[in-house]
Structures are given as structure tokens and as C-alpha cells.
Chain A
């Protein structure tokens, strides 16, 4: 079973920041938080991942709480092309070389 809980859907106005929350209260010390998104009928697109520090790249920022039990993915200026299903995944641990367990994700609808 997935180790994360996400809201099933969210809306965001075009040009505004999209903040997607994720709960992972059972995360263990050596597990990473990964974010992917999937646009209909395409393969999942890697966005960002982190262990405990906040991370930023050209696509998004990842904010992980100090206790690591939750995180937020931030898309700073959402566009219509950001409409997709966003998956928050916890992965790692001893012996795990990259197996990802997907949940249902959050469907983000960016509106004009």
C-alpha cells in the first residue's frame, strides 16, 4: 500500500502558485519523498525529490516539514499545461533500489 495521503483533487488559477500537500506520517529515516506528475495517457514525469531538506529545481519546490511527516509541492506560477495527476511517493529504505509505490494522486486542474 502507498505510504502517502493526498487530496483527490485541487483547483488553481493560472499564474498563481499551486501548493499540493502530502501526508507521509509513517516515513522512516532513510526514505525519500518523490513527486511525479502524469498527463493523460503519458508516462509519469519526474518533478523533484528530497530526503529532509527543502529542494528547488526549474520545475518546482519541495518543502518537507521538520518532522518529515508531511510535505508540499509548490508550482510557483501554474499554467494550463500543469493540469495533471500529481503523485507523492515515499521510497527508499534498506534494500530498496528504487521501487515506487503509487497511490491515487491529486488531480490538479489549472483554470484560466
Chain B
């Protein structure tokens, strides 16, 4: 049983560009959340998707957007990249049924460097 998978693992972008990160949730999971982790900090919640809609959002600007597909996979898009967007981007998945209190699993993340 594959866990949460993310792609790409590493990428480098230039300021002002746009980036798309991808996530496939753990089998049987229908809820996907995205987190940003800057160097030396704990992960920060960006937003959460369920039934293809954004359900919760953290304190991130509109440059950060997402999408969830019918197969529960998800994308994180960041527009107009800034140097400060350089971070590890983490995807987490869980099942909505029984929430809160369900086990939440993380992927290994996508390292984004903005130059």
C-alpha cells in the first residue's frame, strides 16, 4: 500500500514564475492538506481539500491555490514566486469519515528553491 506520494521531489524556479506541485493521497483517503515548511521551522498549514473544494485555509496569500481531482489527488499552485517561497512543501492525507481524530499521514515533500 503506497503512502502519500509527492512530485517532484526537488525543483528550482525563478522569481516571478509559477509552480505546480502534485500529491497522491494514501489509498482510502479522501482529504488532502498542504503545508509549507521553511528551513528551521515547523510546517505551516496552507489549505485543505475535500470533495474537490477548499475546506480550510491558513494564513497564506491568494498566490497559493489548489485543486483536488475526482480521484482525490491534488495540486498546489503558487504564482508570482518570491524568494521567500523557498521551502519544503508537504502534502498530508486522511479520511473525512470519523474526523477529527483520524490518522493523518504526510508525504516526503517537494523541495522548492526560488532563485
Choose, from A60-68, A74-82, A93-101, the stretch at the interface: A93-101
In the complex the two chains form, what is the Cα distance from A46 to B29 in whole Å? Answer: 15
Q: Using C-beta atoms within 8 Å of the partner chain, give the interface range for chain A.
A: 20 to 34
From known contacts A43-B90, A87-B42, infer whether A32 and B108 are also in contact, taking CB-CB under 8 Å: no
Residue of B nearest to A103 (CB): B42
From known contacts A51-B101, A92-B101, A102-B44, infer whether A97 and B96 are also in contact, taking CB-CB under 8 Å: yes
Contacts of A104 in B (CB 8 A): 41-42
In the complex, the answer to whether B106 meets A98 with C-beta atoms within 8 Å is no
Contacts of B90 in A (CB 8 A): 43-44
Chain B residues within CB distance 8 Å of chain A? 4, 31, 33, 35, 41-45, 48, 50, 55-56, 58, 88, 90, 92, 94, 96, 99-109, 111
**6 closest Cβ pairs, A-B complex:** A102-B42, A92-B100, A43-B106, A97-B99, A43-B108, A44-B106
